């Protein structure tokens, strides 16, 4: 009997020993996910130079930049560059810009008069220019435009560069585009102002001062040759063209990207019959510049991106 009990106990022990031991689950430490920061975005400024009727090239430049989804965070313009720039800054639409700009004719801007030249300080008053801007740019004040904007003018008394970044849009453009000897000087913000191209025809430095990381500048002042100067107005325009081109030579080196529309150097400053040609030149030159524009933007992003942080 005792032997049977011993065998029974041994059998039970053997039975329990043969059962599978369940695996021990070792808790795993969760992998920490390092949040990915979005890549930084440079603040891109578009700087539009002066050149009167050649300014329709700016329209083509803006069309391509918009089509290529290059963001414009700021617009700075001199003379006709301030006019085209303000129209765009008000609506952010290259289509609307084209529609508005192509309605513009010389007679909409120049209120020439013999008495203006005799008793005043220019062939044209500039009232027409200011009225046209008021009718076509519905935003009254610069600070309310959709894109930060500045127009550049010149203090006639002291020769200082004046940056107009608040107050009346129409008045600022009139002052910025007051070509000496052609338009009468403009009284604005306590100063007597003339065309900004006298001191800075492509105001790249203004955009940099205002915090631009990348400046795309457009120069339409090329080709000084003119053998068809026959009157006082022609003298004033040619002298202005020379002045514009010379200060561009000094300032254009500071642009990150410089666009110079080709084939418009023979277009006179008051020749409004070449709008499509100017615009097409702006389109073609900007398309050619796109690889450089993207390279500059990519390089800036790479230089300002934080290196990847390995997970602990």
Residue positions annotated with a catalytic role: 79, 195
Report residue 157 CA to chain centroid gap: 30
b (16+ CB within 10 A) / e for 141-151:
ebeebebbbbb
Tokens of 192: 């007597």
Nearest to 49 by CA among 188, 155, 199, 165: 199
Instruction: Please give the torsion angle defined by the CA atoms of residues 73, 77, 81 and 85, in that order, rounded to the nearest 10 degrees.
Output: 30
d(CA 51, CA 267): 10
**Contact at 8 Å (CB) between 53 and 279?**
no
Q: What is the CA angle 214-141-87, rounded to 5?
A: 55
């Amino acid at each position: 009997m005792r032997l049977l009990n011993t065998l029974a106990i041994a059998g039970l022990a053997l039975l329990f020993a043969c059962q599978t031991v369940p695996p021990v689950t070792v808790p795993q430490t969760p992998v920490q996910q390092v949040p990915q920061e979005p890549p930084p975005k440079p603040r891109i400024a578009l700087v539009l130079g002066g050149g009167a009727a050649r300014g329709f090239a700016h329209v083509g430049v803006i069309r391509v930049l918009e089509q290529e989804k290059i963001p414009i965070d700021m617009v700075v313009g001199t003379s006709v560059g301030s006019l085209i720039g303000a129209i765009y800054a008000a609506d952010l639409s290259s289509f609307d810009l084209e529609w508005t700009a192509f309605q513009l004719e010389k007679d909409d801007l120049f209120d020439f008069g013999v008495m203006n030249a005799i008793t005043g300080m220019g062939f044209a008053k500039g009232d027409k220019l200011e009225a046209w801007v008021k009718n076509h740019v519905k935003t009254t004040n610069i600070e309310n435009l959709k894109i930060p904007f500045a127009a550049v003018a010149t203090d006639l008394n002291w020769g200082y560069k004046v940056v107009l970044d608040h107050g009346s849009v129409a008045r600022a453009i009139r002052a910025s585009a007051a070509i000496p000897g052609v338009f009468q000087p403009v009284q604005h913000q306590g100063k007597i102002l003339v065309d900004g191209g006298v001191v800075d025809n492509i105001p790249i430095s203004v955009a940099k001062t205002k915090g631009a990381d990348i400046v795309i500048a457009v120069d339409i002042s090329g080709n000084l040759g003119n053998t068809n100067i026959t009157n006082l107005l022609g003298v004033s325009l040619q002298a202005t063209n020379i002045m514009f081109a010379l200060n561009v030579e000094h300032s254009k080196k500071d642009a990150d990207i410089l666009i110079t529309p080709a084939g418009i150097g023979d277009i006179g400053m008051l020749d409004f019959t070449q709008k499509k040609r100017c615009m097409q030149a702006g389109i073609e030159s900007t398309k050619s510049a796109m690889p450089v524009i993207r390279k500059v933007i990519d390089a800036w992003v790479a230089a300002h991106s934080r290196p990847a942080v390995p997970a602990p």
